Structure 1
Amino acid sequence: MEVKELKFLLKLLGKQGYYGTIQELKPSSKTKITEVENICRQLRDRNLVECEEELTKIKLTPSGKALLTLQLTQLPLNHDELKILTACEPKAISPQTIKITPVSYRQELISSLIKRGLLIAAATKIKQVCLTEQGKEYLIKGYNCKGYHSVLSLDLLNNYLDFLRNFFLSTSDLNCINQKIEPLTTIKQPILTDEDILQTIIDLDRELGTDNYLPIFYLREKLQPPLAREELDAALYRLQKQDKLELSSLLVAENYSQSQINAGITQTIGGKLFFLIVS
């Protein structure tokens, strides 16, 4: 691992929940954002971090170009989808230049056209980064450093020491709990089915009055524990695949705290999946 990659990870360790914006993770004050994004993508390719990316430019694929040569009556597109493809015909453009509102609707149309192979991302910008479980394991067990040159500040060293303390303290606490409950009768947690999770979403939406647009952090507060984050995410994807649930992106974040935003599901492209909509 290069020194600049190590500094990137150690800076990430100093952020709440190991989440940070790309601007906060520069290895040095002189590092350009483009280089920071390259570092981030290299670490993502090794599954050490996850990134939330924003589309900054989109362009037509060959299939999209071919589709526009057909007669209007033959196009399998609605009016707004055709408007997006036509706007991209001369060159790659920013999604913000397309006059379709609301923004969430425009984003859904663009995502649909990308999935159908008619558009591709011509340029993206990394917004947020989080450390993966594999990244944590690598920093605890896998990374070995060599050499005599001083390259780390005391602040970065302190981030790493705090990270190790948190890991070993949590491991120690878990061992103590296991030792205490070992003689006791095991109390089995009820197994939550996908239907139970769907009903919980319906109940929370009714209770909170979110008009079938429930922010995901309410569900995490309710079901984590007993479920782990990965288990809940997998269940939501299954419900989506069964057309029982829709997951919508967060595009305007100013009404939510950073911890609430971090509860969203990170996508490779686009904002976090944040709102739960029962079909």
Structure 2
Amino acid sequence: MDVTELKFLLKLLGFTDYRALITKVEPNPKTKASERDRIGRQLIERGLVDCTEEIKKLAIAPPGKSLLQADPTTLPISEQELKVLKATAKGSISPAQTGVAAEQRQAVIHSLAARGFIKVIDKKFKEVWLTERGKEFLRDEFESNSTKGTIHLKMLTEYLRFLRKVHLPEKAALPPTSPAPETAAPVPMKKPSDEEIWQLIRALDQELVTDNYLPIFHLRQKLQPPLSRRELDQALYRLEGDDKIELSSLVDTNPYSPDQINAGIPQDLGCPLFFITYF
């Protein structure tokens, strides 16, 4: 790991929940946005960081063109998704040109992209955060004998605070686990399929008695890991596009903690997508 990647990680340690807007995470004051984003993507590929992304430009893909030629009454997409496909059929566009309400655009576009109906031409980071793997790396694995590069005292202070605060269990010290009650929702050991995620949503709703209004943070607790945050978000968009679930926004934040609210899916405007209803 080079010094700029290390600085990127250390910079995240200075934010609540090790999470921040990408514009706030600059390894050096003069780091260009393109270089900052390149570093972020490298860390994401290594599993040390995860992110949310905003699609800035999109175009229709061949499967989307084929879909528009089918009988409108049999299309496996929502009215809003159809609106996006028709808009992109005229050429590459921005999300604002889709005709979809601002608070719904990204969710609709991501759902279409996840199923291959549109292609993303340009996108940008919104938020980035340190993953559990990233915490393990900083705590247990990072070493360097390099005498090049500088780490200022504030970064060092944040790192020391991190070491004092983080509590990651040692694998050798883990106590034996008790069998889960038969009524408990299953916890997948490998990356689940969309159908398995849908089944888990139903099981969690019944187990937690959330009246088919399951907060997303319950699902994240079960599925991250094995899934990353971004993988779970994409799976939820696909399920919504297949009319298996509906995602709705949080309006009253008082009953929930900041961590629980942050587990929602951020939107361009308004509150995050927070509740899951299954069909």
TM-score, normalised by the number of residues in structure 2: 0.68
How far 1:108 moved relative to its partner? 4.8
How far 1:159 moved relative to its partner? 1.3
Aligned position for 2:6 = 6
User: Which AA in structure 2 matches 1:198?
Assistant: D
Aligned position for 1:152 = 151
Q: Is the 8 A contact 2:88 2:98 kept in 1?
A: no
SS in 1 for 2:29: coil
Aligned position for 2:64 = 64
Superposed, 1:59-138 pairs within 5 Å as: 59-65=59-65, 70=69, 76=75, 80-101=80-101, 103-104=103-104, 106-138=105-137
State the alpha-carbon separation in 2 of the partners of residues 96 and 60 from structure 1. 15
State the alpha-carbon separation in 2 of the partners of residues 143 and 253 from structure 1. 41
How far 1:143 moved relative to its partner? 1.7
State the alpha-carbon separation in 2 of the partners of residues 259 and 78 from structure 1. 31
State the alpha-carbon separation in 2 of the partners of residues 107 and 67 from structure 1. 20
Aligned position for 1:23 = 23
Q: Is the 8 A contact 1:60 1:119 kept in 2?
A: yes
Q: Which runs of 5+ in 1 are unaligned?
A: 206-211
User: Which AA in structure 1 matches 2:84?
Assistant: I
SS in 2 for 1:26: coil
State the alpha-carbon separation in 2 of the partners of residues 149 and 34 from structure 1. 23
State the alpha-carbon separation in 1 of the partners of residues 139 and 28 from structure 2. 24
User: Which AA in structure 1 matches 2:146?
Assistant: G
Aligned position for 2:37 = 37
Identity %: 38
SS in 1 for 2:51: strand
State the alpha-carbon separation in 1 of the partners of residues 111 and 126 from structure 2. 22
Q: Per-residue displacement from partner, 1:225-265 (whole Å, max 9, x unpaired)?
A: xx686489999979x97x99726276999999753432236
Q: Which runs of 5+ in 2 are unaligned?
A: 186-199
Q: Is the 8 A contact 1:247 1:273 kept in 2?
A: no
Runs (4+) off by over 6 Å: 71-75, 186-189, 231-238, 251-257
In angstroms, what is the RMSD of aligned CA positions?
A: 4.5
State the alpha-carbon separation in 2 of the partners of residues 114 and 228 from structure 1. 22
User: Which AA in structure 2 matches 1:164?
Assistant: L
Q: Is the 8 A contact 1:245 1:276 kept in 2?
A: no
Q: Is the 8 A contact 1:253 1:261 kept in 2?
A: no
User: Which AA in structure 2 matches 1:261?
Assistant: I
User: Which AA in structure 2 matches 1:197?
Assistant: L
Aligned position for 2:205 = 198
User: Which AA in structure 2 matches 1:91?
Assistant: G
How far 1:83 moved relative to its partner? 3.2
Higher-Rg structure is 1
